[in-house]
Amino acid sequence: MRCARHLGDAPLSRLYREVRPFRIYDGPSETHRWAIAKRAVRATRERRDTHHAVEPLR
């Protein structure tokens, strides 16, 4: 809460106090990035495997 100490009752301070619990609830951003990256890699592999599994038209 360093922001609140420096800014007192400024609008930015109030916004920080209101938003902070959601950051804690959602968890670290790094964890979200890893989860999204894993899903993207998995989806790309599935598309690649599906694309190679289809026989060419004659």
Q: What is the pLDDT of residue 36?
A: 87
Residue 13 pLDDT > 60: yes
Which domain, by its residues, includes 16? 2-53
Stronger pLDDT, 25 or 9, i.e. the higher one: 9
Total structural domains within the chain: 1
Burial 18-35 (b: 16+ CB within 10 A, else e): eeeeeeeeeeeeeeeeee
Residue 41 lies in a domain: yes
Residue 58 lies in a domain: no
Residue 56 — very low, low, confident or very high, per pLDDT cuts 50/70/90? low
Residue 33 lies in a domain: yes
User: pTM (2 decimals)?
Assistant: 0.41
Q: What is the pLDDT of residue 6?
A: 57
